[in-house]
Amino acid sequence: MTVDGQEVPAVVVGVDGSESALGAVRWAAGEAMRRGAPLRLVGVLEWSAYRPPAAAGVLPDGDRDVLLEHLRKELTGAAAQAHALAPDLTVTHDLLVGSPKRALLDEAGAAALLVLGSRGRGGFVGLLTGSVSMALPAAAPCPVVVVRGAGVPDGPVVVGVDGSPEGALALRYAVESAARLGTSVLAVRAWSHDRIDPYVLELVRSDGVEDDERRQLEKSVLPARQARPDVPIETELVRGHPAQALLEAGQRAQLLVVGSRGNGGVTGMLLGSISRSVLHHAHCPVAVLTGPPPSDVSGIQP
């Protein structure tokens, strides 16, 4: 799809016919419309995932044809659902054979966004098992959204910030998303005594640490507020574990944004373990940033 002579990157969705994947298609259709981007549906069939009862080494050609035709129907049905939600949306679909992870990583190289369900069908089609959905966000060259639920329709975009460059990128993406959705941003920062060096804790008062955390939080969101005054940005400082703080805030969100890694030490909002915890337990779509996203807010500096 081209606009003013320039190619518009697609929103790419992994499809395997599972209800989780169809939920991802529905979410991605809305996001593609908001972006003015085409939607590309990709099915990937890995022959090695199919194990006939007789343990034959190679599938007969007839069985392969049956499996391929089944997946083609799943892709056609998913495309029909996307068109029903967004009749003006440009939708294409393609069936690939090989490793689902490798194929979707290749697709992500030219995509604006890669969207996945949180768990796949697996079984005889062997497509997008949960392990694939969990592995791709850490490796994809574009932002990845794992749709773990519909989220709260009128809720904010929740984002974890910790003062790191990755946190700044996550905040930038959250602001872009909130602008498209017509909602606000809730920037969350967490701290707790057990994440502070005990020697340092002996030298400072608890209320002093909390006051400093609040100042750091406000400092982190100031560039975004200045660059996009049209997007309301609220802040929330939480004393507790970062993953739990994000999951609780995510209960009232329509989208939750995290980085793939971030600072350790006092805040540690975007460590890989925290992102993985959010991906496993959130009840709304989760966007994971692994690098600079396409930006409509270039005035926000990491």
Give the pLDDT confidence score for residue 194 in this predicted structure: 53
Return the number of other C-beta atoms located less than 10 Å from residue 68's C-beta.
14
Residue 248 CA to residue 238 CA, distance in Å, equals 10
Strand stretches in 149-210, DSSP E: 157-160, 185-191
Q: Which of 290, 279, 244 is nearest to 119 (CA)?
A: 279
Find where tokens 């929740």 sit: 158
272-281 vs 242-250: helix crossing angle, rounded to 10: 30
Q: What is the pLDDT of residues 231-281, one digit of tens each?
A: 999 999 998 888 899 999 999 999 999 987 544 433 444 446 778 888 888
Q: Is the dihedral of CA 43, 41, 281, 190 positive or negative?
A: positive
Q: What is the pLDDT of residues 75-111, one digit of tens each?
A: 999 999 999 999 999 999 999 988 888 999 999 999 9
Residue 98, sorted as left (phi over 0), alpha (psi -120 to 50) or beta, turns out to be left
Percentage of residues in the chain with pLDDT exceeding 70?
74
The vertex-173 CA angle with 238 and 146, nearest 5°, equals 85
Homologous superfamily in CATH for domain 157-289? HUPs (3.40.50.620)
Percentage of residues in the chain with pLDDT exceeding 90?
49
Taking a C-beta distance cutoff of 8 angstroms, is the pair 177, 275 a contact? no
CATH of 2-147, one of 3.10.20.590, 3.90.1580.10, 3.40.50.620, 2.40.40.20: 3.40.50.620
Residue 128 banded pLDDT, cuts 50, 70, 90:
very low
Taking a C-beta distance cutoff of 8 angstroms, is the pair 137, 148 a contact? no
Taking a C-beta distance cutoff of 8 angstroms, is the pair 1, 88 a contact? no
Fold matches, 2-147 and 157-289: yes
Taking a C-beta distance cutoff of 8 angstroms, is the pair 175, 223 a contact? no
Q: What are phi and psi of 286, to 5 degrees?
A: -120, 120
> Looking at per-residue confidence, does 179 or 208 come out higher?
179
Q: What is the pLDDT of residues 16-48, one digit of tens each?
A: 888 888 999 999 999 999 999 999 999 988 776
> Looking at per-residue confidence, does 196 or 170 come out higher?
170
Distant-in-sequence, close-in-space partners of 217: CB < 8 Å, separation ≥ 6: 161, 187, 189, 235, 237
Could you give the 3-state DSSP secondary structure of residue 134? helix
Give the pLDDT confidence score for residue 290 in this predicted structure: 74
pLDDT at 173 over 90: yes
The vertex-253 CA angle with 246 and 212, nearest 5°, equals 40
What is the residue extent of each domain of the chain?
Answer: 2-147, 157-289
pLDDT at 125 over 90: no
DSSP 254: S
